[in-house]
Amino acid sequence: MTQAAGPITVARLESGLADAYAAVLCDLDGCLVSGETALPGALDFARSCGDRLWIVSNNSGDTGQSLSERLVRLGFQIPAHRILLAGEHALLDIAQRRPGARIFLAASAQLEQRARALGLIPLRAPERANDVDVVMLARDPDFGLGRLSKMVRLLASGAELVVTNPDLVHPGADGLPEPETGALLAALSACWPELAYQTIGKPQTALLSEALRRAGVSAADALFVGDNPLTDGLAAQRAGIAFLHVLPPVPRGPADPVASLAPAIQTGD
């Protein structure tokens, strides 16, 4: 199999589009689903890919297991080990680099449970700022001024900052933008513009490399399917994987907020 000469753009997914590839790495929001709805053509596409399909998403609220169970309800049969998510893999990376680290999580309860299962020590209310080794910012449903202020103080005391992904928004079920981790990072960056951090989500290639490793497939034999050229397209290019661009649903509200605000966010390369 040979890699396509350049990105191919389609308006929607359909059966057979990826038949030439040994592994199909696919973004989730805006490609297969929008909110709690399967997008037109997505179920046929997923069925035609079978076990060649891998989800590679900057989702930072779910775990692979919780997302797999949610996708079953929409008609997708994708086991947890074929789902690679920025939030969960940021935790895996921290647990590998800093076993048993004390971590302040701006994240969902699901990721807090996952952190404990990986041997990390989540601290909700550390007594002293230097009690925390790592601050991790994900798509925190309870983000607010109190947590933002706490993060600034922990980072000032030398904690390492890990940001799961830089996305500002993803398309919501009603067509309006849903805030993502990057929107929370923008708030933190407004308080501390020169803040240094690590990130694992696209456009970094870590999730793509892990999917290829698990699949046992080389980059030249894989396809990446995504709706966002700034994250999906760039990650595919960096990893040497052919890119299939799915045009996102027509947005309501602000015109293309991802494209207009993305240059303000440093991705921590």
- Give the x/- contact pattern for Mg ion in 2-31, rule: CB under 5 A: -------------------------x-xx-
Nearer to Mg ion, 140 or 227 (CB): 227
* Contacts of Mg ion in 189-208 (CB under 5 A): none
Q: How far is the CB of 228 from Mg ion (least distance, A)?
A: 5
C-alpha–C-alpha distance, residues 200 and 195, integer Å: 16
Binding window for Mg ion (CB under 5 A); candidates: 100-108, 205-213, 219-227, 255-263: 219-227
Tokens at residue 242, please?
Answer: 């052919």
Residue 227 C-beta: closest distance to Mg ion, Å:
4
Q: Whose CB is nearest to Mg ion?
A: 30
According to the binding rule CB under 5 A, does residue 227 interact with Mg ion? yes
Tokens linked to 29 = 């929001």
Q: Over 62-85, what HEC string results?
A: CCHHHHHHHHHHHCCCCCHHHEEE
Q: How far is the CB of 31 from Mg ion (least distance, A)?
A: 6
CB of 32 to Mg ion, least distance (A): 9
Give the ranges where 77-123 is alpha helix by DSSP (H). Answer: 86-97, 109-117
Q: How far is CA 13 from the centre of its chain?
A: 20
> In the bound complex, what is the minimum distance in angstroms from residue 27's beta carbon to Mg ion?
4
Nearer to Mg ion, 58 or 122 (CB): 58
Tokens 């009690």 sit at which residue?
131
Total residues contacting Mg ion by CB under 5 A comes to 4
Binding region for Mg ion (CB under 5 A) out of 4-12, 180-188, 192-200, 226-234? 226-234
Q: Partners of 243 in the beta sheet?
A: 224
Q: Is 167 in the site for Mg ion (CB under 5 A)?
A: no
Burial of 96 (0-12, 13-18, 19+ CB in 10 A): exposed
Least separation in angstroms between residue 29's CB and Mg ion is 4
Cβ–Cβ under 8 Å, residues 77 and 48 = no
Structure tokens that stand for 5 in this block: 């000469």
CA distance 214 to 219: 12
Binding letters toward Mg ion, positions 240-269, x by CB under 5 A:
------------------------------
- Does 180 bind Mg ion (CB under 5 A)? Our answer is no
Other C-beta atoms lying within 10 Å of the C-beta of residue 15: 14
Q: Residues 28 to 57: which contact Mg ion by CB under 5 A?
A: 29-30
Please calculate the CA angle 240-68-178 and round it to the nearest 5 degrees: 75
Distance from C-alpha of 262 to C-alpha of 266, rounded to nearest angstrom: 8
User: Residue 7 CB, nearest distance to Mg ion (Å)?
Assistant: 15
Q: Which is nearer to Mg ion, 29 or 133 (CB)?
A: 29
DSSP letter assigned to residue 229 = I
Considering the complex, state which of residue 114 and residue 170 has its C-beta at the smaller distance from Mg ion: 170
Q: Which is nearer to Mg ion, 27 or 221 (CB)?
A: 27
Structure tokens, 262 = 């993305």
Task: List residues near Mg ion by CB under 5 A.
Answer: 27, 29-30, 227
